[in-house]
Amino acid sequence: MEMNTTHQASGPVIRTAGLTRHFTRNKQTIEAVRGLDLEVAAGELVAFLGPNGAGKSTTLRMLTTLIAPTAGSATVAGHDVVRDRAAVRRSIGYVGQGNAAGHQYRGRDEIMCQARAHGLSRRDARTRTEELLEAFDLTEHADRPVAQLSGGQRRRLDVAIGLVQEPPILFLDEPSTGLDPQNRVNLQEQVRRLNAELGTTIVLTTHYLEEADALAGRVIVIDHGQVIADDRADALKSALGDLVAMDFASADAARAAATRADRIEGAQVTVTGSHVAVRAAFGRDAAPTLVADLAAAGTPVTRIEVVGPTLDDVFLDLTGRSLRETSTTPSASTEGAAA
């Protein structure tokens, strides 16, 4: 994809203050988003990570003016999402969760149509369309009616359509759900390039830990409508530290080892029978000395494993629940479903 303009990077382009949204269902109030205070600077690539129902889509729908907040406020590109909806919409691109593309048209026509609607000449629109078809591996499917495409192919088309006008701020709601791993990687590459080469501010939602990690920008972890962590993925993980998991010949040996492991600065030590788990910021570096000390003390380790932290560990540490378990994992792929 050719990208030759750069959006200016300066100051926050998204600002929310106490942003809140309630829904009423069966006379019960659902607090989907609870008092979000957020700033996103121009040129940032931000992932909202959280389980199903955490409030990610609702937040995006408020920021894109599709629904109004119950309380609090938000500005996008300097415009209020309630008072200046049209101005917000002019500054953003949005790819929602559903399939936006019409069904009787061919994929190529859908993209062309969007490009023309955004003011590109016929020639530029054609070039842009071919670039996007190529980038999303859709060229060979471009002449089939959208209705005949698989779920994954349609999802790729949705995202391609969202990228047509190269907006300065782009919102993507679970862009890679339903894509197979290879197309997920393709998509992530497109997202990264758009951010790096054009300086596009990108906010996306995901419940794929790997995706939030791979995009490596800022990760905002959301649970029950609130931000529970907000930092770079590597910072979130290193704050938690490595896990050093050790087995011993007996529970007594494990208890003795735990006392020693407790001396490692900032270590969190848990003993379960003859198993000891140590979570520590530099656990990987501390492990060899610990193993040698334990052997010298007559309580040798029988098995040891050092595991670097994942974003799931971060979520588990913050909420006591695993994100993998709380999210319904989408069926492996919808690729090829109707192909």
Ligand X SMILES: Nc1ncnc2c1ncn2[C@@H]1O[C@H](COP(=O)(O)OP(=O)(O)OP(=O)(O)O)[C@@H](O)[C@H]1O
Binding ligand X by CB under 6 A: which of 13, 14, 19, 32? 32
Taking the C-alpha atoms of residue 83 and residue 118, their distance in angstroms, rounded to an integer, is: 24
Nearer CB in complex with ligand X: 52/270: 52
Query: Judged by CB under 6 A, how many residues of this single chain contact ligand X?
Result: 13
Phi, psi (deg, nearest 5) at residue 122 = -55, -40
Work out how close the CB of 265 gets to ligand X at its nearest, in angstroms, rounded to a whole number. Answer: 37
Binding ligand X by CB under 6 A: which of 47, 49, 54, 101? 54
Tell me the per-residue interface mask from 204 to 243 with ligand X, x by CB under 6 A, - otherwise: ---x------------------------------------
Return the amino acid letter for 186.
N
By CB under 6 A, is residue 53 in contact with ligand X?
yes
7 touches 201 (CB < 8 A): yes
Taking the C-alpha atoms of residue 201 and residue 43, their distance in angstroms, rounded to an integer, is: 4
Nearer CB in complex with ligand X: 194/220: 220
221 touches 49 (CB < 8 A): yes
Taking the C-alpha atoms of residue 261 and residue 2, their distance in angstroms, rounded to an integer, is: 54
Tell me the per-residue interface mask from 148 to 187 with ligand X, x by CB under 6 A, - otherwise: ----------------------------------------
Taking the C-alpha atoms of residue 16 and residue 71, their distance in angstroms, rounded to an integer, is: 11
Binding ligand X by CB under 6 A: which of 38, 47, 50, 220? 50
Sequence-ordered list of residues with C-beta below 8 angstroms from that of 3, at least 6 positions apart, any chain: 166, 193, 194, 197, 198
Q: What is the DSSP string of 168-188?
A: SEEEEESTTTT--HHHHHHHH
Nearer CB in complex with ligand X: 30/77: 30
By CB under 6 A, is residue 120 in contact with ligand X?
no
Binding ligand X by CB under 6 A: which of 6, 8, 23, 339? 23
Binding ligand X by CB under 6 A: which of 30, 41, 245, 337? 30
Nearer CB in complex with ligand X: 52/182: 52
Work out how close the CB of 115 gets to ligand X at its nearest, in angstroms, rounded to a whole number. Answer: 29
List, in sequence order, every beta strand (DSSP E) within the chain: 12-25, 28-41, 45-49, 71-76, 79-80, 92-95, 169-173, 201-206, 218-223, 226-232, 242-247, 268-272, 275-280, 303-307
Nearer CB in complex with ligand X: 54/135: 54
Q: Write out the residues near ligand X by the rule CB under 6 A.
A: 23, 25, 30, 32, 50, 52-58, 207
